[in-house]
Structure 1
Amino acid sequence: MLGNIADFFSSGANIVFFLFALFAIGGAIFMISFTKVVSMVVSGAVTFLSLAGLYVLLEAEFLATVQVLIYAGAISILMIFGIVMTRHQGEEQESKRPWHYALLWIGIAGLFGVLFYAFQQVTFPQGTRQAAEDNTLEIGKLLFSEHVIPFELMSILLTVAFIGAIVLAKREEE
């Protein structure tokens, strides 16, 4: 019964993958569960760093570096600045959702039950994958050839969101 799980955990890379995946899922669950904003930011940073670790396991070092620099670093710092710069009305209230934690743990148990069942039923391939010589070069080629329109649309969307945030901040000031 536990043959597939024993085979899965026989490799060091699979153990590290499991730990990074556990931290990513745990950080995401804690992010939506915490009530204090600073704790939420720290949980988000743990999730971002775990995803960077998963990128390293996939031999996508450029994406891992970008994940750490932009998300774990810049976005977390931006969130902390947002917390510091805003006014808070009194203390944060305790959560009045008694069933929230019970349902959360039931959902977690269900998720791991489904994953345990899936690990028992699947046969993991034992093939090797040929990685590209230069991941960054390949990403650049794809980004500026096949995916140039979504890339430009995303830059326009981010610019509009930035302008909207400035307009909303100015409106609150007045």
Structure 2
Amino acid sequence: MTFSGEFLAFMGLALVAIIGGVLLLNLTRVVHMVVALIFTFVAIAGIYVLLSAEFVAAVQILIYSGAITIIMLFGIMLTRHNDESESKAGKWRKFLLFLGVLGFAFAVYLGIYNFDIDQVPTTLHENNTMQIGQALYSKHIIPFELVSVLLLVALVGSIVLAKKEDKEADKE
């Protein structure tokens, strides 16, 4: 195994993504969890840049790190929640969980370490934005439009539900 700048950048970004995911599961305040999620999303976008998928990295930043986390924060702010009824996990449970995660990471490492993939020269990373656009708007236009209609229906439905809750709150 050779240590190159790309390898060190990948390891650093992977470490940030893993730490963000672990913090997301272990933090108690929801806003802190969202910040940990943002770190994870940005690290994954950095990995996409290392893979020469700049368009996917930009979409990762714009959609996930921006829009999804803002929607989550709005959802958190608009809902009532009481976290006092939740029981805290014991030390043994946390220790066993840590051992399970460590065992899973070791199994994945053993599975990937000796996995032999032939490196074949490819031109997929050249003009990848144009290739994605051509594939999306030629072969996959119907699923793309169906997803846009589904998102529009979800938006209208959330507005209707929010209006119903406002009317019920005014009656009380």
- Pair in the same fold by TM > 0.5: yes
Q: Can you give the 5+ residue segments of structure 2 that lack an aligned partner in the other structure?
A: none
- 1:61 paired residue among 54, 61, 64: 54
Asked if residue 96 in structure 1 is aligned to residue 82 in structure 2, the reply is no
- Pairing of 1:1-174 with structure 2 (within 5 A): 7=1, 9-89=2-82, 92=84, 95-98=87-90, 99-123=92-116, 125-173=118-166, 174=168
Structure with the bigger RCO (C-alpha within 8 Å, sep 6+) is 1
- Indicate if the aligned counterparts of 2:13 and 2:43 stay in contact, CA closer than 8 A: yes
Give the partner amino acid of 2:122: R
Q: Can you give the 5+ residue segments of structure 1 that lack an aligned partner in the other structure?
A: 1-6
Evaluate the alpha carbon distance shift between residue 41 and residue 92 of structure 1 in structure 2; reply closer, same or farther with a 3 A threshold: farther
Aligned length: 166
Please report how far the alpha carbon of residue 142 of structure 1 lies from its aligned counterpart in structure 2 after TM superposition: 0.5
Normalised TM-score (structure 2):
0.80
Distance 1:133 1:121 in 2: 29
- Indicate if the aligned counterparts of 1:35 and 1:95 stay in contact, CA closer than 8 A: no
- Indicate if the aligned counterparts of 1:132 and 1:138 stay in contact, CA closer than 8 A: no
Identical amino acids, percent of aligned pairs: 47
Distance 1:152 1:103 in 2: 46
- Indicate if the aligned counterparts of 1:32 and 1:40 stay in contact, CA closer than 8 A: yes
Please report how far the alpha carbon of residue 140 of structure 1 lies from its aligned counterpart in structure 2 after TM superposition: 0.6
Evaluate the alpha carbon distance shift between residue 67 and residue 131 of structure 1 in structure 2; reply closer, same or farther with a 3 A threshold: same
Normalised TM-score (structure 1):
0.80
